[in-house]
C-alpha cells in the first residue's frame, strides 16, 4: 500500500502545480461517497488490527476486513465509472481482491523479500502470506520488489496507481459548469479585439 500511497501523493503534488486545489474535490459529481469512506475505514481497521496484534493467532478477521474493503471500494468505483481513471482503479482493486480471495491473503514472493534485504519472518501476517508451490494465481501476487521505497508490488497495484493519476487531477481541477461559463466569457472578452472608440457625438470637435 505504500507504493499506492506514494503515487497518490505524487499525483496530488502534480495537480497542485497545475492549479489543482483540494476544495474543488467537494464540487465534483461523486456518487455514494459513503461507500468510499466505509471501504477506507475497513482497510485502516485491518491495518491497525495487524499492527496492534488484535488478530494474532488468526488471519480470518483481517482477511475478511481486507476483502470486504476491496469489494466496497470497487462498488463505489463502479458507481462512478464515468470519471477518468476510475475503471483502472476498479481493475487494479479487483486483481488484488481475486488473488487474496484465492489464497486467504496477499501472497508475497520470497525472492522479492530477499531483494529488499529482509527475511520471510518479517512478513506482516494477516495481510500477507509467503508464496509457495500451492499459491494460486501467483502472477497477480506481490512479486515485484521496489528497493528505493522498500516495497513489493503486484500488477494490481500498478494498474491501480495508473488510474489514480487522472482521477486525482480531474477531482482537484474540477470546475462547475458555472465556473466554465465564467472562464469562457472572460476569455471571449479578452480576445474580442480592440474596443471601438467611444462615439463622441456631434460637436465633439473630432
Q: Copy the grid coordinates of residue 8.
A: 497518490
Dist. CA 159–CA 192, nearest whole Å: 45
pLDDT at 63: 74
Tens of pLDDT, residue by residue over 71-104, are 898 899 889 989 999 999 989 988 998 998 898 8
Taking the whole predicted model, whether its pTM rises above 0.85 is answered as no
Dist. CA 136–CA 101, nearest whole Å: 10
pLDDT at 172: 92
Match 485491518 to its residue by C-alpha cell: 46
Chain centre to alpha carbon of residue 44: 15
Domain ranges of the chain: 2-176
Higher per-residue pLDDT: 197 or 142: 142
DSSP secondary structure letter of residue 195: P
Amino acid at each position: 500500500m505504500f507504493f499506492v500511497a506514494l503515487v497518490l501523493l505524487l499525483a496530488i503534488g502534480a495537480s497542485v502545480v497545475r492549479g489543482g486545489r483540494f476544495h474543488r474535490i467537494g464540487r465534483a459529481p461523486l456518487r455514494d461517497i459513503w461507500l468510499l469512506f466505509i471501504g477506507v475505514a475497513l482497510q485502516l481497521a485491518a491495518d491497525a488490527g495487524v499492527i496492534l496484534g488484535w488478530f494474532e493467532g488468526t488471519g480470518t478477521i483481517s482477511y475478511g476486513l481486507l476483502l470486504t474493503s476491496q469489494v466496497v471500494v470497487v462498488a463505489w468505483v463502479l458507481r462512478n465509472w464515468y470519471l477518468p481513471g476510475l475503471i483502472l482503479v476498479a481493475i487494479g482493486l479487483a486483481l488484488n481482491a481475486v488473488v487474496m480471495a484465492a489464497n486467504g491473503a496477499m501472497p508475497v514472493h520470497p525472492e522479492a523479500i530477499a531483494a529488499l534485504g529482509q527475511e520471510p519472518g518479517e512478513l506482516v501476517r494477516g495481510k500477507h502470506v509467503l508464496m509457495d508451490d500451492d499459491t494460486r494465481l501467483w502472477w497477480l501476487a506481490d512479486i515485484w520488489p521496489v528497493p528505493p521505497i522498500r516495497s513489493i508490488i503486484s500488477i494490481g497495484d500498478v494498474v491501480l496507481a495508473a488510474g489514480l493519476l487522472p482521477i486525482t487531477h480531474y477531482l482537484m481541477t474540477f470546475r462547475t459548469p458555472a465556473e466554465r461559463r465564467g472562464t469562457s466569457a472572460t476569455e471571449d472578452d479578452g480576445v474580442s479585439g480592440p474596443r471601438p472608440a467611444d462615439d463622441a457625438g456631434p460637436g465633439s470637435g473630432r
